[in-house]
Amino acid sequence: MSRYWNSLVAKLDPYVPGEQPRIQNLIKLNTNEHPYGPSPKVLEAIKAQTNDSLRLYPDPTALELRQAIGRRFNLVPEQVFVGNGSDEVLAHVFHALLKHDQPVLFPDITYSFYPVYCGLYEIQYKTLPLDAHLKIRVEDYLPSPGDRNVGGIIFPNPNAPTGSAHALGDVERIVAANPDVVVVVDEAYVDFGAQSAVSLIDQYPNLLVVHTLSKSRSLAGLRVGYAMGHPDLIQGLDRVKNSFNSYPLDRLALAGATAAIEDQAHFEATRDAVVRTRGMLTQGLEQLGFEVLPSTANFVFARHPARDGALLASALREKNIIVRHFKKPRIDQYLRITIGTDEQCAKLLEACQSILNGSAVRSFGN
Ligand SMILES: *Cc1c(COP(=O)(O)O)cnc(C)c1O
């Protein structure tokens, strides 16, 4: 606290990102990065831009990248907005498209950045509890007739940190039932096995779909995300972006991201490898007695009925393996484990087995 902070900053409750420790030989399964590198074409494209042209500003409209995304998803560039990571895109979405004085709806257990943006932009919100299986209750997002007290809706599909996805029909019911507000589907993990709502964009002017290159395109370090929706929504986002930072994507990011979107073969091969490893890891964890939620993401959410989640996470850490543990009601017994390489996952299973066999972690009696 400082007397120089204004009243808004004083009351912020910022997001805490998963740690990025600099420890040698660490098995890092805590922030859902891709275990395999980006397409070699991405690296070439970035290298080709490391020259004198860096003295020039990048294209403020990111047209080539938006065209590449448009080709990929059958959209025109006017339906595409890009930003410095989907976190920045989401921030602009909260700022520009979700109402500030009527509650925005999202699940109680979800991406923990959403309430942070609400704090930053002073947006009212209401969280709706997941059901007993940690699934979104679709009916909760269908307003009763005459209910005008909703300022917008946002949820990830698949949800984070549970990994569970809803079918396109469920998403469409929510979008169709809320024509007066924007419904945002955060598809950060959709490529790992869920159905995208992109195909609904031409039908629903209130639908905005948000993607990131950080997870399935192996580019968390480049910081690129995008939103797709009706041109009116994109124009709203542009107004905020151009009131904030005209050049959120630098020349290297634009070149690398465009190459990544265009290399579908590398994307599919590495994505399929992660999906295969997820099956292996799920099976291995279940054999050790873990309960693993069905996942369509590049992570699994699992708990052991006899072992405390926090203690398991710290015992793994002592073995140089980091996973994510959330000290939050309802999910504090779970570990969120990013799908690594086969070798990393085998080491994780081995470590879990030795922890479960040994006395390193005692189960809580209460
Ligand atoms: C990782 C993640 C993001 C943010 O991704 P960046 O593009 O790296 O900012 C957004 N939403 C969800 C649900 C995520 O898990």
Fold of 40-263: Aspartate Aminotransferase; domain 2 (3.40.640)
Angstrom distance (rounded) from CA 170 to CA 178: 13
Q: Hey, is 191 helix, strand or coil?
A: helix
Q: What separation in Å is there between the alpha carbon of 257 and the centre of ligand 1? A: 16
Q: What separation in Å is there between the alpha carbon of 359 and the centre of ligand 1? A: 37
Lookup: tokens for 321: 């393996």
Q: Which of 212, 213, 219 to mutate to test the pocket of ligand 1 (most atoms within 8 A of CB)?
A: 212
Q: Match domain 7-36+265-357 to its CATH number in 3.20.20.410, 3.90.1150.10, 3.10.180.10, 3.30.1540.20.
A: 3.90.1150.10
Angstrom distance (rounded) from CA 304 to CA 290: 4
What DSSP letter does each residue of 230-290 carry, written as one string? -HHHHHHHHHHHTTT-S--S-HHHHHHHHHHHH-HHHHHHHHHHHHHHHHHHHHHHHHTT-
Q: Which of 30, 84, 111 to mutate to test the pocket of ligand 1 (most atoms within 8 A of CB)?
A: 111
Q: Hey, is 157 helix, strand or coil?
A: coil
State the pLDDT at residue 144. 79
Angstrom distance (rounded) from CA 304 to CA 306: 6
| Cis ω before 205 (30° cut-off from 0) | no
Per-residue tens of pLDDT for the chain, all 366 residues: 899 999 999 999 999 888 888 888 899 999 999 999 999 999 999 999 999 999 999 999 999 999 999 999 999 999 999 999 999 999 999 999 999 999 999 999 999 999 999 999 999 999 999 999 999 999 999 987 777 799 999 999 999 999 999 999 999 999 999 999 999 999 999 999 999 999 999 999 999 999 999 999 999 999 999 999 999 999 999 999 999 999 999 999 999 999 999 999 999 999 999 999 999 999 999 999 999 999 999 999 999 999 999 999 999 999 999 999 999 999 999 999 999 999 999 999 999 999 999 854 444 443
Angstrom distance (rounded) from CA 69 to CA 81: 10
Which residue spans of the chain are classified as CATH 3.90.1150.10? 7-36+265-357
Which residue spans of the chain are classified as CATH 3.40.640.10? 40-263
pTM of the model: 0.96
